[in-house]
Every structure is written in C-alpha cells, then in structure tokens.
Chains A and B, each alone.
Chain A
Amino acid sequence: MFGSIFNADFIASSIRIAIPLALAGLGGVFSERSGVINIGLEGIMLTGAFTSIAVTNFIQNPWLGILAAIIIGIFLGLIHGITCITFKANQIVSGVAINLFASGITVFFSWLLFNETQIMAKISLPIWGLSIPNLGEGSSFLRSIIIIFAHHSPLVYLTIIIFILSHLIIFRTPFGLRLRSVGEYPQAADTMGVNVIKIRYIAVMTSGALAGLAGSFLSLEQAHFFVKEISGGRGFIALAAMIFGKWTPFGTAGAALLFGFGEALAIRLQSVTAVPVQFINMVPYLLAIFVLVSAIGRAIPPAADGIPYEKEVG
C-alpha cells in the first residue's frame, strides 16, 4: 500500500499543492515582518486566480495573465496599505473587507464577462524541464528524479528563485534590516532615519504581488479553471504556514511543503483508510495553534505586528 502511495508522482503533486501556499505565506512574511497583518491574502489570491484566467482567455497569453494577477495583487495590497498604514484603520478589518470584496467582485465579473461562475483556462504555461522517460526505459531512479525535480510548470522554478531571493533580501540586505526593524521597533527605526511608512507600503504591496501570483498558479496551473471561491481557505493555510515557519522564508516554504504533503496524502487516502480526510485537513490549523502555544520552539511574531505606526510629535 505505501509503495503505491509514496511514489515520485505523489511527491511532485505535494510540491504543486505547496506552491500557492508557499507564495502567499511568503507574502505574509514580508507584510508581517514590516508590522502589518494581512489576512486579506485569501481574497488577493482569489482575485489573482480570477484575473489570471480572465486575462489569459482574452489575450491568449498565460504569461500576461500571470502578470495581470500580480498587478491586481499589488493594487489590493496598496488598498490595504492606504486603509491601515495611512489611515491607521484596524488591519484585521481591512483584511476582512478585502476578502469580502474579492468574494463578491470575482463572481460579479465572471457573471458579467463569461456568464458563468466556472471558467476553463484556454491555455496554460508549457511544462519546463526534461521529459519523463517511459516506464522501463532507463533507470526508475532517474525517472523519479525527473518527475520530482525537473518536470514542472515554470512557476515552480520561479517560486524557488523567489524564495532564495527573499531570504537574501530579508536577512542579508540593508532593505531587509530596515524591514525587520520597522516590524520590531518602528520608533527606533524612525529615529535612525528609516522611512517607516514607505517600508511598510513596499512590504504590503510585495505581499499582494506574491498572493496574486499564488492565485494565478492555483487557477491557471493547478486547476486549469476558475470557480467561485477557488482559494477555499488556502490564504489562511498560508498564514498558518507563515506562523509555523516562524516568519522566515525557508521556514514558510518548509511548512507549505508539509501542508502540501498532507493535502496530497488526504486526497490519496480518501478511499484507502479509516482516518477521515477531514481530520487530515485540520492538521495545518492545529499545528499553527500548537506552535503559538507550545513552550519549546515557540513562534513569536514581530513585536510591532498589527500596530499602526504613530509618529510621535514632540
């Protein structure tokens, strides 16, 4: 039984499920490292998922569809920024409003433009990498390696590059230092001449771009269609991944892979085992709560996370 489940295809599909979680989770890392909670990731993902399919179908170019999803993500990130950085409104409220807005606007436009709530993707990106050898030809080990590492949508490789870059940006550049200082102690950062407002705007818009990209992967590359509420809580699993990954890019990627693995397992176990799938689906959320509570290896958010920056006027 285990041999039939844990094969190369299984690992490859875990990776594919993990990609949108990882990207949106990374968006959460950028935003929260700067001190802005973004629970609008779910809605931004949903809007990105719709936009990428709509644009791809209209202009027959998936790359431009993905670009459009990123742009719309940046735009929603900007709105989140305006409400809760400039107007200092409650960040949770703003995020909830973005989610509500996304649920409405995506279905609204899919009725308006396509007259239905499920839109098939006319084209997707080509698969990049090596072609999979037929069974029996060459070594099966080589075949597995190709399936797992070298036969994916271009966005999978792009995601890996984004993660490495993000790690370097956050922990190895002056910008990253400023980003983290703004999220930990904005008053001190401000005293040192860091423009708190600007850094937060950049971070929130980056998180929007990443969540939009995550959404485009979800619809265009994974499902090959858009349907009402296709994000289905993945934006919140992404937040769980971010927490479980302790607000670091690689930690988030690891958590997303773990959750992707769990979801892939749940899909395959549906017919095989006595453990109900619903309990496997709970695992990401339970783990997130667990790491927030547990004494050992406890996850601690950035100190100024969720607090609007009020410049002291002397």
Chain B
Amino acid sequence: MKAAKKIDYYSFLEKITPLIAVIFALLVGAIVIVIIGEDPIYVYKILFSNAISNRDGWGNVLFRATPLIFTGLAVAFAFRCGLFNIGGEGQVYIGAFLSTWVGFTFTSLPAFILIPLCILAAAAGGALWAAVPGILKAKKGVHEVIVTIMMNWIAASLTFFLVLKYKAPETETMIAAGVKQMIPHTKEIAQAARLPRLYDLFKSINIDFPSYNQVNVSFFIAIGVAILAYYILWKTNLGYEIRAVGYNPLAAEYGGISVAKNIVLAMVISGAFAGLVGTNEVMGFKYRWRQELFTGLGFNGIAVALLGKNHPLGVVLAAILFGILNYGGAIVNIFTEGRIPRELIMVLQAVIVIFVVISDEIVKRLIVKRRKLT
C-alpha cells in the first residue's frame, strides 16, 4: 500500500518537472542578471507585470504565443507517433507562402471563401513539405530528423526565390529616393483574405482594447487546432493507431496496424499544424510574406512541445509562457535601456529545454529505484 503511494508521488513529480525546469531556468537567469550588475527581482517584476497585468500585455502575449501553439502542436503530434519533426521551420515557410500566394492571387473572391481558402493553403503547404520526410521514413527508413533539417534549408532557398519572383513593387517614394527593398517581401494579400484583429471583435461588444494590439483571430484557430489535436489523438481510431506506432512500432505492426501509413499521416498532420502559422503572421499581422516573420518559430516549437509534455493543453500553456517571456523580455530591454539585451530570453528558453529533459531523466531514475526497492 505504502509503496504504491510512493510511486504516485513520483508520477506527480514527473508531471510537474516542467515547472521545476522553469524555476531553475529563472534562477540561472537571475544569476546572469546579477553578474551584469542589475537587480533580478526588479527585472523579473518588469518582465511579468507588464505582460500579464493588463489587456494590452495579454494581447501581446497571446499574439506571440499563437505561432508557437501551432509549431508546438506540430512537434507534439509527430512525437506521439515516435517521430521527431524538426522541420517545422520549413513547413512554416512553405505553408505561409502558399497561403500568401492564394491571398494575393485570387483577389476577386469574397472573404467567406478566400479566408478558408488561405487557411487551407497554409495547412496544405506545411502538410506537403512534411509529407516528403514522412514518405522517405516510411518507405526507405531514412531518419526523419536528417531529412527535415535538409528540407528546412531547401524551403528557405525556395521561398527566397519565390519572394523575389512575387516581390512587392517599389513604392513611389522608394523609386524617387532611388532605394530598393532592403528585405524582400511579397505583395500584400487582398483585404478579403485578412483575419480580423481581436480589437475589431472587442469593439463590436464594447470592450475596451487597444487598437494597435496585434493579437488576432488566429489565436482562436490555434486553440481550435489544439482541441482538434487532442480529439484526433485520443478519440479516433487514427489517433489510437498513431499512438500505438509511437509506443511500439513492432507491436503495432503485429497488431495489424500499418506503421508506414501512420508515419506518413502523422507527418502530414504535423506539417499542416506548422503551416497554419501563416494565419497569424500573414493573414492576421503583416499581410505579406517576409522571412524573418517566421525564423526560429519551428525550433521554438520543439521547446514548447517538450515543456508541454507533448500534450495539447501543455503545449498551449507552454506557448503562453514563452509568449510572456518574449514580450516581457522586449519590455525589459526598453526599461533597462538595453542593459539587459532581449536575447537573455533565448538563453532562458534554451536552459529551460535542457532542464526539462534532465529533470525528466532524474525523476525516471527515482521511479526505477523506488520500484526496485519494493
């Protein structure tokens, strides 16, 4: 009896390892801040209070969390099938580009057709790009990590080429000044392809919300996709098969589940999730494709998925935490007049990742030890 309780205690510990990791990372951050010669309590107070004490702060946090929910879900979903999709970066590029292309090509369509079409295009682009490593893994047994890495860089080159092809025309003031676009970007998508900002929604129901805040309807799409991911994984046959393959491919095959089919499907769905980043960055924010909108999102999705224990709810929470850190980090940078560079946040995120995986292993060892003792 007593032993069973102990094991429960450890499985509780296992569940909260992400929290422990975050606290440890914040401690490491505090040490760095002290070394720089600033007051860590003051810095963290600015970081968190600006992010979560008012509506504007929350809007900024959710805006930054939205793309990470998509890429985090992408990584988590593939992981449930035992696959490591580190190609989020490339899938985001391609999905977002396809969505932008639809947005500026079919400009005569009405919004109720064009918006769903752009969303589908974003998902399809990501799915297509993820299908390649999926198929190569299923048919040829090639490790998906290597292929997705290579596909990331191919996507970067391909979209760079396409951006130059569909480059926005230089504005008249630019022509007059004789300058060219410093960073190439595409034409703008049609008005009818743009997602409303939350400001627009809140205005119609008379809630006070800053008009410059960039959080948009894409956040709700992200939450919807998180629910969809949960539903697929735990409420459908497909999800059961995908998890079975992830748990033990040999046993799954023996039980009549096609490993190859599920690997391809899991990658395709994962890629579709990643591609949907385009709904936030393009359809809800910049209305055009520009590479630095997306850089790092795919890789940060890995951190988010890990921190969220590859569960959709965990992913959403982890993405919001990263949103707080990213926004709060930028604010800290301004408040301290650059004495605390915002890159501190990237370091914190890396430290969180390392601590999550290490504390997981420590807890696992504790459990094994406990089982042996009893």
Interface residues of A (CB under 8 A from B): 37, 39, 79, 83, 87-90, 92-94, 96-101, 103-105, 107-108, 111-112, 233, 236-237, 239-240, 243, 276, 278-279, 281-282, 285-286, 288-289, 292-293, 301, 306
B153: chain A residues at CB < 8 Å are 233, 236-237, 281-282, 285
A285: chain B residues at CB < 8 Å are 150-151, 153-154
Interface string of B133-146 (1 = CB under 8 A from A): 00010001011011
Q: Name which residue of chain B comes closest to A37, CB basis.
A: B145
Q: Name which residue of chain A comes closest to B300, CB basis.
A: A100
Q: Name which residue of chain A comes closest to B353, CB basis.
A: A97
Question: Could you say which of B62-70, B208-216, B357-365 contacts chain A?
Answer: B357-365
| Cβ contact of A89, chosen from B300, B344, B347, B357, cutoff 8 A | B357
B136: chain A residues at CB < 8 Å are 289, 292-293
Seed contacts A39-B149, A107-B341, A292-B143; 11 additional CB < 8 Å A-B pairs = A79-B354, A93-B353, A94-B357, A103-B346, A104-B343, A107-B346, A108-B346, A108-B347, A233-B156, A278-B164, A289-B151
Contact call B161/A83, Cβ cutoff below 8 A: no
Is B84 part of the binding interface, using a Cβ–Cβ cutoff of 8 Å? yes
Interface SS of chain B: helix, strand, loop or mixed?
Answer: helix
A243: chain B residues at CB < 8 Å are 146
Contact call B147/A279, Cβ cutoff below 8 A: no
Q: How far is the CA of A39 from the CA of B358 in the complex (A)?
A: 18
A-B contact pairs, 24 of them (CB 8 A): A37-B145, A79-B354, A83-B357, A90-B84, A96-B353, A100-B300, A100-B303, A100-B349, A101-B347, A101-B351, A103-B296, A107-B346, A111-B343, A112-B36, A236-B152, A281-B153, A282-B157, A282-B158, A285-B153, A286-B150, A288-B150, A289-B146, A292-B136, A292-B143
Q: Name which residue of chain B comes closest to A82, CB basis.
A: B358
Contact call B299/A99, Cβ cutoff below 8 A: yes
| Cβ contact of A108, chosen from B341, B351, B362, cutoff 8 A | B341
Most interface-central of A89, A100, A112, A279 (chain B CB within 10 A): A100
Contact call A90/B357, Cβ cutoff below 8 A: yes
Is B260 part of the binding interface, using a Cβ–Cβ cutoff of 8 Å? no
B84: chain A residues at CB < 8 Å are 90, 92
Is B160 part of the binding interface, using a Cβ–Cβ cutoff of 8 Å? yes
| Cβ contact of A107, chosen from B151, B161, B343, cutoff 8 A | B343
Contact call A101/B346, Cβ cutoff below 8 A: yes
Q: How far is the CA of A100 from the CA of B161 in the complex (A)?
A: 26
Is B86 part of the binding interface, using a Cβ–Cβ cutoff of 8 Å? yes
How many residues belonging to B are interface residues under a CB distance threshold of 8 Å?
A: 45
Min CB–CB distance B205 → chain A (angstroms): 40
Interface SS of chain A: helix, strand, loop or mixed?
Answer: helix
Contact call A108/B361, Cβ cutoff below 8 A: no
| Cβ contact of B154, chosen from A90, A94, A286, cutoff 8 A | A286
Contact call A301/B346, Cβ cutoff below 8 A: no
Contact call A278/B142, Cβ cutoff below 8 A: no
Contact call B306/A278, Cβ cutoff below 8 A: no
Is B345 part of the binding interface, using a Cβ–Cβ cutoff of 8 Å? yes
Interface string of B288-299 (1 = CB under 8 A from A): 000000001001
Is B350 part of the binding interface, using a Cβ–Cβ cutoff of 8 Å? yes
Min CB–CB distance A195 → chain B (angstroms): 21
Is B338 part of the binding interface, using a Cβ–Cβ cutoff of 8 Å? yes
Is B302 part of the binding interface, using a Cβ–Cβ cutoff of 8 Å? yes
B147: chain A residues at CB < 8 Å are 289, 292
Q: How far is the CA of A192 from the CA of B213 in the complex (A)?
A: 64
Q: How far is the CA of A267 from the CA of B104 in the complex (A)?
A: 32
Q: How far is the CA of A99 from the CA of B295 in the complex (A)?
A: 13
Q: How far is the CA of A127 from the CA of B192 in the complex (A)?
A: 60
Q: What are the nearest 8 A-B pairs in CB distance? A: A104-B346, A101-B350, A89-B357, A278-B161, A285-B150, A97-B353, A108-B343, A104-B347
With A96-B303, A111-B338, A293-B136 as known contacts, state yes or no: A104 contacts B344, CB within 8 Å.
yes
Contact call B149/A236, Cβ cutoff below 8 A: yes
Most interface-central of B149, B156, B299 (chain A CB within 10 A): B149
| Cβ contact of B150, chosen from A92, A278, A289, A306, cutoff 8 A | A289
Min CB–CB distance B180 → chain A (angstroms): 15
Contact call B350/A89, Cβ cutoff below 8 A: no
| Cβ contact of A100, chosen from B140, B145, B353, cutoff 8 A | B353
Min CB–CB distance B295 → chain A (angstroms): 9
With A83-B357, A288-B150 as known contacts, state yes or no: A281 contacts B341, CB within 8 Å.
no
| Cβ contact of B361, chosen from A39, A79, A87, A112, cutoff 8 A | A87
| Cβ contact of B357, chosen from A87, A105, A108, A281, cutoff 8 A | A87
Contact call B299/A96, Cβ cutoff below 8 A: yes
B349: chain A residues at CB < 8 Å are 100, 104
A103: chain B residues at CB < 8 Å are 296, 343, 346
